[in-house]
Each structure stands twice: as structure tokens, then as C-alpha cells.
Structure 1
């Protein structure tokens, strides 16, 4: 269950949020949503794969953390073992809300039922004693804005990929050091062959529209698959 509310400096003056990592805080996930504007930061740590949910035509981009549901190989007890945390995870338990009328500037909303809502004196305050936003809340507002802007711009990116048929189905079967196998199915990646076959005019247009860089970043991120396998083997070896 969720309990979304517009953040209010009076109603939520004493609210605190836990910022550590943990499975009990919602971090035990195999993948997290990412957006093209974030790909440059993502690609140095996580593979970027694309997925289309059943019954939908639209694709989403995902930063991959593991090989099975609920597995996050970057979660080490209470520690996030990477120098970057995808925005869609970093902003929890906050989200962008819209006015009741629908249109208008985004508002900072919070899920009051989220496990990151702290009890007692745990966690970080959102407002100071005078009701002013703390540096933490200012940082969250910036990340929410970045994620919202990136999400809104992503439709044009995926439309461009569709126009040039640049996504191809991807599956991977991994044999681990203990002999077990894990399969990734139902994902897509950038079709490098079709990208190379595009003419200069088309590539120039993709560049002008801001799509070429995230395409390259998504391709570069695939080198992280071998690193993810190494993490899995290390986790198995460590028990």
C-alpha cells in the first residue's frame, strides 16, 4: 500500500527519512528505471537494458543490478556498493506530483507508507525548526526535477529508436563458477549493426536531437555485464 501526500512544511515539520541502504528499505530489486539523460552516469556502473511490458508498445530503460527477481548485487548489507545511485532509487520515498487540475508545475510528494519513513530520531530531517527545507530536501528536489525532465524527454528518444529500428531482442545465459545457470530474457539492447549502417545525415539528425550520446552510453554500458557476473560469482563464493 502507498500513502501519497503533497509535502507540507507544517504537516511534515518533524518528518525524517532514512537514507541508508537495505533490503527492508526497498533496495532489494533486480533493476531500476533510468532515463536517457542519466545514461552517462549509469553506464560506468550498471548495464542498461530496455524492456517493453506485456500489452504495451512503449519501452523503458532499466539499470540492471542482478540476474533474478529481488537480487541486487550492489546491495551489501547496509551499504550501496557503487559510486552512483540511479535517480529512481535515490529519490525514494519522494515522487513528483501534479496539481489536482492536472497541468501545472510538479510538486514534491512523499509516500508516507514507504519503509524509508523513519521512526523517532532516526533518519534525516526534511525541514528545520523554522520550517525551511534542509539541504537534504533541496538535493532531493533537484533530483526529482532531473528525473521528471528526463522521463518527459525519453518519449522522443524511444520514438527515434523505433523510427530507425535500433532495438533488438537480447537474451543472456550465464554459467556461474558453481555450475548454476541464470538467464536474462525479455530484454532489448541497441542494435549496433543497424546503428553502424545509418547514413551520415541520419546520424547527424540523431546527434542534433540529443539522442546519439545516450545511444552510445547504452552500448558502452553492456561492458558492465561481465562485471555483474563477477559480482555474482563473488557473492556465491562468499556464501
Structure 2
């Protein structure tokens, strides 16, 4: 159960957070939300898929780490085996909160996170000033929040031009077992090709075309993810 609190230099002056990566640190997850502004940075490492939240009727993009809940195939004995770390993972155990009744953003921290450890990095120095580590985290939080706010326009455009199609992936592994991935969407490449110059110009003008291409390019990582699963099974 998360225990969120507003980060405060007096109350939390002695807190330390570890950089370590692993299942014990809460990294044993199948996917993480990514925002369009980071697609270019993460597309070389992870498949980017889209998922619809039926309650809110909003799409979100996910960087895929595995094929079943709790599976992260990028974790190994030495940490996280990828060139880029999605912002939603990099900022943990911090998150953005808002002041009730306003739009002011605040930095919150999950006080029950396993990342809070005595051998971690300090958040505040002896004078109560933010350390370079915390300053970097705040910049990442700002980038994630800004990207999330801007993503509404991106998904509105995808829906307006009907550029999302349901995606089902059936993966047969070397041991003969099958994993079936359902409930996701991908960019409909055929409909994207069929768009006229006006529609493409609008997508480009609004900054949506590049993330679309990055999401398409990221799908080449699915075969690499299958290979990771096969290697893990081969080594027990």
C-alpha cells in the first residue's frame, strides 16, 4: 500500500533513495506508461503499445517489458539491461501531486517504497537544500507531467483519424509454450499511409507525426523481447 506524502526538507531531511534496480525495488512490472515526448528516446529499447482505459475512455502508451503480469525481461543480475529508462520508472519513488482546488504541482514521495534505504543518495543536504540528485528527479517529474498533459492532443488526433487498431500477439517460445498478449492497440499503418497531405500536415504541425513514427519503429523490439524470454527460460 502506497504511503504518499508531500516532500518536505524539514520532515524528510535525512531520507535517502537508492539507484538500485531489481524486483526487490518494485521493478518487477510488465510495462510502464510512456508519454509521446519520450517515444524517440525509448523506442530503441522497448515496444510501445497503446491501451484503452474503459472507465476514463482514455488511451495511454505503454513501454512493454514482458508478456505477463510481474514479468520484466530487462532486469538481470546487474540491474536494468537497456539503454534508456522510461520516465515513469526513473522517477520512483517520487510523483507529482496537485494542491487541492488548484493547479500548483508538488513533489510527493512514497514513504513505503523499498527504494528508501540508508545506503541511498540524500535528497537534501545539511542545510535543507535540494541535492543534485533530487534536482534531476524534479526535472524528470516536470518532463513527465508536461508530457502527460500534452498527450491528450496526441491521442485525440489518433482517434480523429482512426489511426489505432486492436493488436493481439501470440508468441510461441522455444519450449513450446504460448503467450498471448491481448487488450492493446498499435498504429494502423495502412490508414496512416492513406492520409492526405492536409491530414499529414496537421499531424506534423501539431508535433504528432514523429511520435507516430517512433511508435511504429518500436515494434521491431517485440522479436528482441521474445528472444529475452527464450534466453531466460533456457537458463532456468
Q: TM-score, normalised by structure 1?
A: 0.96
* Equivalent position of 2:23 in the other structure: 23
Secondary structure at the residue paired with 1:213?
Answer: helix
* Equivalent position of 2:211 in the other structure: 214
Q: Deviations over 1:187-229 (max 9, x none)?
A: 0000000000000111011000000000000000000000101
Structure 2 residue 164 is matched with structure 1 residue 145: no
Give the Cα separation in 1 of the matches to 2:132 and 2:227.
Answer: 37
* Equivalent position of 2:197 in the other structure: 200
Q: Deviations over 1:126-181 (max 9, x none)?
A: 01111111111011000000000000000000000000000000001011111111
In structure 2, which of residues 166, 170, 180 is the aligned counterpart of residue 169 of structure 1?
A: 166
In structure 2, which of residues 112, 136, 155 is the aligned counterpart of residue 158 of structure 1?
A: 155
* Equivalent position of 1:127 in the other structure: 124
Give the Cα separation in 2 of the matches to 1:133 and 1:69.
Answer: 36
Equivalent pair of 1:20/1:78 in contact (CA under 8 Å): no
User: After TM superposition, which residue ranges in structure 1, 4 or more long, deviate above 4 angstroms?
Assistant: none
Structure 2 residue 86 is matched with structure 1 residue 89: no
* Equivalent position of 1:54 in the other structure: 54
* Equivalent position of 2:44 in the other structure: 44
Q: CA deviation at 1:101?
A: 2.9
Gaps of 5+ in 1: none
Q: Deviations over 1:18-45 (max 9, x none)?
A: 1101112110000000000010011000
Give the Cα separation in 2 of the matches to 1:203 and 1:101.
Answer: 39
Give the Cα separation in 1 of the matches to 2:45 and 2:13.
Answer: 36
Secondary structure at the residue paired with 2:203?
Answer: helix
- Give the RMSD, CA atoms, in angstroms: 1.0
Give the Cα separation in 2 of the matches to 1:220 and 1:22.
Answer: 27
Give the Cα separation in 1 of the matches to 2:170 and 2:72.
Answer: 18
Secondary structure at the residue paired with 1:216?
Answer: helix
Q: TM-score, normalised by structure 2?
A: 0.98
In structure 1, which of residues 178, 181, 184 is the aligned counterpart of residue 181 of structure 2?
A: 184
